[in-house]
Chains A and B, each alone.
Chain A
Amino acid sequence: MSHPVHPGPESLQPFFNGIDALCQPQIIFGGSIAALIGGLVFRRYLVKPAVAIGITVATLAFVGLSCLNGQFLSQAQKPDNVPIWILLAMTGFVLWVSFYQAVRNDDRIRQGLRTEEHEAAEEKLHVWPYLLYIEGIVAAFAMLVLFVWSVGIEAPLEQFANIAKTPNPSKAPWYFLGLQEMLVYYDPWMAGVVLPSMIISGLVVIPYCDPNPKGVGYYTFEQRKLAITTFLFGFVALWVVMIFVGTFLRGPNWNFYGLYEEWNPHKLEQLNNVNLSEFFWQNFMGESLPKQWFAREWPGFAVILIYFTAVPMVCAGLFRKLYKSLGFVRYNILIVHALFMMALPIKMLLRWSFNLKYIVYIPEYFFNI
């Protein structure tokens, strides 16, 4: 742990340092959201095979160069981090496959033609052999990959369990790192219980809250812009990116580290976060904090009340057609889930720009938001 890691060749240090300087939560999360929106806007260029190959080569070169740095390499080649690479590569690839087809179909629709799936669906094929041979080959290929993976990389086994010896950092399994990252912004009852429940119920209600009958059975973006953008925002920016961050950029004490920055457990992070009630009473009103919790925290409650009432009303006006076709109840189910989803990026923004800790802070009842 304490021996220094190899920083890599001298000539690459400015590059590594530059990237490390960019490794800040604001830049990473803001950048991924910008990249996602940019990707959707410029999808026509990105789906061109030449562009996609270019991006792939550049990414591989970047990862290759990064591996010259000891810190990056040690994290990148950890056996339990291999799935992260597979997740990133496969998510990128299947998104590309979706959009490749979506763009082509959208073009055809615009020209008054039917989609490629429409044409392919005219013909009926026997499952034997047309589907079964694909399934056979895919299963054999998957088996092969798993064999190579299992022969090549030994599943880790650490020291015997010891509840008295806390590792630093202690991380949840990789697929829950998104939740662990939320702990930075919300207390465990929100990050570990309420928000995950909202993710699950949010997924379940999707079919009931999407009134758009178009886009079944074929790839398209233009006929389902709002739905696809929202879903990808959640899946890519708020889930996959969070897993990446939790794996590679969160080190000891869950501090934020650069991609190439050595994990020094003594790194101190300034934590002078303030609560909304302190902002309101001390900075704004120039008074001292009221003792009684409701007298103290009512501004926070007011903010949350406004968030869950005014925003739905404004959105109902903005998305009139959506509101009309869903009706009052389903519209509210949809918007409440959307507001919970946005609660994370909003809290992030507030933290970064105002050092806001809690909107409502009632430690007496473990009720902090």
Chain B
Amino acid sequence: MSGIGDKLRKVLDESVYQSVIWRSVFRHGFPDTDRNRTLVVLSNLFLHLHPAKLKGHAVRMRYTWCMGGLSFFMFLILTISGVFLMFYYRPTPEYAYADIIDLREGIPLGAFMRNIHRWGAHAMVIIVWLHMLRVFMTGSYKAPREFNWGVGVILLVLTLLLSFTGYLLPWDQLAIWAITVGTNMARATPFLGHEGPGASLIGYDDFAVVHPKSDVRFMLLGGSIVGPPALLRFYVLHCVFLPLVAGFLMAVHFWRIRKDGFSAPL
């Protein structure tokens, strides 16, 4: 066995690792020395999100539960499966539902991709909550990481909003009613919703400024019911706006983890 392994290693060494192409991609030798292990991490765009070295406690799963990393991993899986779904899905009531049926029945791997996207989204919500729980339980929100905790809270809200806006897209009974229940609350926003406290104070006598066709729910839905404009709005929020903001904030989040230093006992 080891004979074959050694031979293979020798062949790789001579014809692959020494080749011009390999060496143009990887600027360091095989990571079996301290120097090369450091270089692997530092010279790779993706790996260099990590520092080259970490204190022992931070590496253990029992400390981080890997929940932050998994949140990011879920985000990546959702992005990839989401792009796949976008090839087949059109955000208008006449097509949306039919396109989902098509995905389920007609398109190779369509049902599977939809399932990955759906269950991955649920999983991400849970994972982000538990990540927050671990950050809390290890006191990692305390100085100097207060700001990054705040960035995390916004990421949590964005995760929920991403999930929520995606819920409408299949345009089935579950979708439209979950969103109706959810957005009905916006009617009652103080001052900004037409059934909210204070809304009737804005305006003169009979002239109401905040009414069902001008309040924040109308803005959210592009109408006074969950209809075609709402579908388009939620689609744009779900596929473009919210992922961009979340991606941007994740960059900030990761940058700050490095700058603030990973939490460690003093």
Q: Quick one: closest B residue to A201, CB to CB?
A: B153
CB of B53 closer than 8 Å to a CB of A:
yes
Count residues on chain B whose CB falls below 8 Å from chain A CBs. Answer: 103
On chain B, the residues within 8 Å of A167 by CB distance are 173, 177
CB of A226 closer than 8 Å to a CB of B:
no
B196, A366: Cβ atoms under 8 Å?
Answer: yes
On chain B, the residues within 8 Å of A87 by CB distance are 126, 129
Query: Which of B13-21, B57-65, B246-254 lines the interface with chain A?
Result: B57-65
A172, chain B: closest CB distance, angstroms: 5
CB of B170 closer than 8 Å to a CB of A:
yes
Which B156-182 residues sit within 8 Å CB-CB of chain A? Answer: 156-157, 160, 163-164, 167, 170-178, 180-182
Q: Quick one: closest A residue to B121, CB to CB?
A: A83
CB of A118 closer than 8 Å to a CB of B:
yes
B70, A218: Cβ atoms under 8 Å?
Answer: no
Q: How far is the CA of A124 from the CA of B60 in the complex (A)?
A: 12
Q: How far is the CA of A95 from the CA of B129 in the complex (A)?
A: 12
On chain A, the residues within 8 Å of B172 by CB distance are 157-161
On chain A, the residues within 8 Å of B143 by CB distance are 207, 213
B266, A216: Cβ atoms under 8 Å?
Answer: yes
Q: How far is the CA of A262 from the CA of B53 in the complex (A)?
A: 57
Chain A, interface residues (CB within 8 Å), range: 35 or more
Q: Quick one: closest A residue to B137, CB to CB?
A: A98
Interface of B is mostly: helix
A149, B70: Cβ atoms under 8 Å?
Answer: no
Which B13-70 residues sit within 8 Å CB-CB of chain A? Answer: 31, 34, 37-38, 40-41, 47, 50-63, 65-66, 69-70
CB of B188 closer than 8 Å to a CB of A:
yes
A189, B190: Cβ atoms under 8 Å?
Answer: yes
A210, B142: Cβ atoms under 8 Å?
Answer: yes
B37, A192: Cβ atoms under 8 Å?
Answer: no
Q: Which of A131, A149, A159, A204 contacts B119 (CB 8 A)?
A: A149
On chain A, the residues within 8 Å of B106 by CB distance are none
A138, B61: Cβ atoms under 8 Å?
Answer: yes
Which A225-265 residues sit within 8 Å CB-CB of chain B? Answer: 228, 231, 235
Q: Interface 1/0s, chain A 139-175, versus B by CB < 8 A?
A: 1001100110111011111111111011100111111
CB of A101 closer than 8 Å to a CB of B:
yes
CB of A191 closer than 8 Å to a CB of B:
yes
Q: How far is the CA of A22 from the CA of B136 in the complex (A)?
A: 33
On chain A, the residues within 8 Å of B57 by CB distance are 116-118, 120-121, 217-218
B184, A188: Cβ atoms under 8 Å?
Answer: yes
Q: How far is the CA of A212 from the CA of B190 in the complex (A)?
A: 36
A139, B186: Cβ atoms under 8 Å?
Answer: no
Q: How far is the CA of A82 from the CA of B125 in the complex (A)?
A: 13
Q: Interface 1/0s, chain B 96-129, versus A by CB < 8 A?
A: 0100110010000001101110111011011001
Q: Which of B47, B74, B149, B225 contacts A207 (CB 8 A)?
A: B149
Q: How far is the CA of A143 from the CA of B77 in the complex (A)?
A: 9
B114, chain A: closest CB distance, angstroms: 6
A150, B116: Cβ atoms under 8 Å?
Answer: yes
Q: How far is the CA of A362 from the CA of B180 in the complex (A)?
A: 26
B244, chain A: closest CB distance, angstroms: 20
A365, B130: Cβ atoms under 8 Å?
Answer: no
On chain A, the residues within 8 Å of B176 by CB distance are 161-163
On chain A, the residues within 8 Å of B238 by CB distance are none
19 new A-B contacts, CB < 8 A, other than A189-B195, A216-B142, are A116-B57, A121-B58, A121-B264, A127-B54, A128-B41, A129-B37, A134-B59, A138-B70, A153-B119, A157-B174, A158-B172, A165-B173, A172-B182, A192-B186, A204-B150, A215-B142, A216-B139, A218-B139, A365-B198
Query: What would 8 A/B residue contacts be, using CB atoms closer than 8 Å?
Result: A127-B37, A134-B61, A157-B104, A193-B186, A203-B153, A207-B146, A224-B139, A365-B200
Q: Would you list the 8 A-B pairs with minimal beta carbon distance, nearest first?
A: A192-B185, A207-B146, A150-B115, A188-B188, A189-B188, A161-B176, A120-B56, A367-B197
Q: Residues of A with Cβ closer than 8 Å to B?
A: 80, 82-83, 86-87, 90-91, 94-95, 97-98, 101-102, 114-118, 120-132, 134-135, 138-139, 142-143, 146-147, 149-151, 153-163, 165-167, 170-176, 179-180, 187-189, 191-194, 200, 203-204, 206-208, 210, 212-220, 224, 228, 231, 235, 362, 365-367
